[in-house]
Structures are given as structure tokens and as C-alpha cells.
Amino acid sequence: MPSIELIFSDGERFTLAAKSDESVLAAARRAGLELASDCESGECQTCRGTVRRGAVAYADGVEVSLTDEDQAAGGALCCVAQPRGDLVVELPYSRASLLPVRTAYLAVTAVERLCGSAVALRGKLMRNAKLGFYAGQYVNLTVPGTTEQRAYSMANPPEEPDALEFLVRLLDGGAMSEFLRAGPAPGTVIALKGPHGVFYRRERDAPMLMIAGGTGLAPMLAMLRQLAARGASRRRITLCFGVTAQRDLFGLDVLERLSETLPGLERRVAIMHPDADWTGMRGVVTNLLQPADVTAAPDAYLCGPPPMIAAARAWLAAHGMPPDRVFAEEFTPTGV
């Protein structure tokens, strides 16, 4: 029987015995230990850990959303990764950070167009329910009239646990996108399950570097709004925000208002394919980064589409940022 040693981010360690045909997650559960998970099918990456010793394998037919580079760097999805011999896996969260997952119902209060390609979905939890979560986490929303579930990060801070906001990019033909594009009537009920994810703001009174692509701004707003709700602070926060075109740009007014309470919040914006009159940075979000950002901020928070996350991780690694100080949420498309 292989042994699995799990190392949590606060240094807590567990060693358990695994069967060779069961996943790390299943072995942990058999030992009475709950780990972060969501889809349990290799898609969402919520269960992602890093193999420090040994090797894992995936059963035939399991689609793993990690790239070959991610896997070569030790990345493993605990929900489907099976140990091949003794294993040591590092997990990027502490056990204390795992909150109970609940089902609740959201009554839509508004769907507001933010720009050509994104909306804000706002709603109030029904029956006086409150969602306990950490700024940065997400929930799964069921597309009304279907059984399809989609993950969305809260943009509101945990201090507002019953009035939730989500920033949603509208895709042509997407189940949730088309539901929102149709403009659901206020009061429409959406089932919700969560919170999920280990992308949350670590409690450190230190400068932060945030890198967001498109609606990847949502969890950053939750974090910034939480800091602002706690009172004025001069903490240095560098937010690099990238979008594809001008029609995708939104949220600058919200960031401006936040900077009144958080004067250390520096906003940098890049547009990949801007109109001719754009005078700001052109290109990808990593063009906004400077080597001094890495020395200034001990923690980096990344959120957006997988290629953006991969590029930002690579840039930060090349400029000396330790991988364990990089926290990321990938908006992995459904079914990939």
C-alpha cells in the first residue's frame, strides 16, 4: 500500500495509506480528512496540489485540465490523481481555510451591462440565508431551466454575505451567457452551491500584486472591497488588468472609487487589440509588469483565462518570485 504525505500551507502534515487504484482525494476521505474539491472529475483544478516526491498517474479516460508543463512542474489534481508508490503532495491552503459547502437560492435583483462583452449579475440570497466565504472564492450557479452548473467568483466582499455580485463574460451560445443575455426578470431564482476554491486573500499586512484578465477582476474586487470595508489603508497594491479590446473594458470607475479608501492601489491597464485612439499600454497583461513589482510584493494573485495565468506564472518565475507565493484561479472553460 503506498503512503501519501499531505503537507498543508501552514506546515500541518498528514500521512495516510492509499490503495493504488484510488485517488489522493478518496484516500484522504477514507482516512477522515476533507480536502478542497469541487467537480471531482479533473476539470476545475480546485483540488490542485504539487507533487514534491513520487509520481501520480491518471486512469484511462480521465481528462485532466492541467497542461503538460503544469504536470512536469509537479502539478497534480488530487480528485483523480492516483499514487504510483509513496507520495508527498503539497497543498496550497490550510485545513482551517476549508469552509462548509452549502446549497442556497439567489433571487436576481439586476443584470447590468458592464461593457460589450460582460455583465454584472446581482442577487439576494433567499430565506435570510448568508454565504460564508473568503474574498476570492467562487460558487457554482445552476443555469435556470437546466441542470448545467457554471463557476463564478464573488465580486462582493464577505462582509456582504447575502447580497452577491458576479461578473460574467458573455460567450456566444454559452448556456449561462444566453440566459443572462436574455435579461432574466428580477426575482428569477438561481440555485447556488459553495463556497469553493482555495484562491483567497492570505491575511498578510504586506504589499500585493494582482494580475487580472477580463472578468478575472471579480475576485480581485472582492479582496479590494474587503480591505476597503476594513477602513482606509495605504497598503501598496498593484493591480494589472488586461482585456482583449476596448469593448471588453469595464470596472475602472469602481477601482477609482476604491482608491479613495485605498490610496496605495495602483491601476495599470493593457488592451491587446485597442482602437487607434487608445493611449495606454497595448498588448498582453504581462507587458504591465516590472521587475520591481516582484521585489515590492511578497504575494501575487492571478485570475483569468488559462493562457493568461500560464503567461503570468512564467513571467513571475523568470523574475524570481517563488511559486508558493503565487495564488491563481483559472477560469477553465466548461467541458475542457
Ligand X SMILES: Cc1cc2nc3c(=O)[nH]c(=O)nc-3n(C[C@H](O)[C@H](O)[C@H](O)COP(=O)(O)OP(=O)(O)OC[C@H]3O[C@@H](n4cnc5c(N)ncnc54)[C@H](O)[C@@H]3O)c2cc1C
* Interface pick for ligand X out of 108, 176, 228, 321 (rule CB under 6 A): 176
User: Based on CB atoms, which residue is closest to ligand FES, 215 or 332?
Assistant: 332
201 binds ligand X (CB under 6 A): no
| Positions in 137-156 near ligand X (CB under 6 A) | 138, 150-153
d(CA 171, CA 118): 9
47 binds ligand X (CB under 6 A): no
Closest CB 193 distance from ligand X, rounded Å: 13
Closest CB 101 distance from ligand FES, rounded Å: 12
Closest CB 132 distance from ligand FES, rounded Å: 20
65 binds ligand X (CB under 6 A): no
- Return the one option of ligand X, ligand FES, none that residue 37 interacts with (CB less than 5 to 8 A, by type): ligand FES
Closest CB 64 distance from ligand FES, rounded Å: 8
In the three-class reduction of DSSP (H, G, I as helix; E, B as strand; rest coil), residue 286 is classed as helix
User: Based on CB atoms, which residue is closest to ligand X, 31 or 272?
Assistant: 272
Closest CB 330 distance from ligand X, rounded Å: 6
| Positions in 212-251 near ligand X (CB under 6 A) | 215, 218
Report the Cα–Cα distance between both ends of the chain, in Å, rounded. 33
In the three-class reduction of DSSP (H, G, I as helix; E, B as strand; rest coil), residue 227 is classed as helix
Contact 217, 302 (CB under 8 A): no
Closest CB 79 distance from ligand X, rounded Å: 13
Closest CB 39 distance from ligand FES, rounded Å: 4
Q: For every residue of 301-331, which 3-state class applies, written as one string? A: EEEECHHHHHHHHHHHHHCCCCHHHEEEEEC
Closest CB 217 distance from ligand FES, rounded Å: 23
DSSP symbol at 39 = S
169 binds ligand X (CB under 6 A): yes
Contact 233, 223 (CB under 8 A): no
User: Based on CB atoms, which residue is closest to ligand FES, 99 or 272?
Assistant: 99
Contact positions toward ligand FES, by CB under 6 A?
Answer: 37-40, 42-47, 77, 79
User: Based on CB atoms, which residue is closest to ligand FES, 46 or 215?
Assistant: 46
**Burial class of residue 105, CB neighbours in 10 A (0-12, 13-18, 19+):** middle
- Return the one option of ligand X, ligand FES, none that residue 297 interacts with (CB less than 5 to 8 A, by type): none
The CB density around residue 253, as the number of other CB atoms within 10 Å, is 8
* Interface pick for ligand X out of 173, 203, 231, 276 (rule CB under 6 A): 173
What one-letter code names the amino acid at 206? A
User: Based on CB atoms, which residue is closest to ligand FES, 147 or 279?
Assistant: 147
d(CA 172, CA 253): 27
Ramachandran region of residue 54, left (φ > 0), alpha (ψ -120 to 50) or beta?
Answer: left
36 binds ligand X (CB under 6 A): no
Q: Which of 265, 263, 261, 267 is nearest to 228 (CA)?
A: 261
108 binds ligand X (CB under 6 A): no
d(CA 306, CA 44): 11
79 vs 36, 59, 148, 199, 334, CA distance in Å? 9, 12, 21, 17, 17
Chain positions contacting ligand X, by CB under 6 A:
44, 138, 150-153, 166-169, 171, 173-177, 197, 215, 218, 305, 329, 331-335
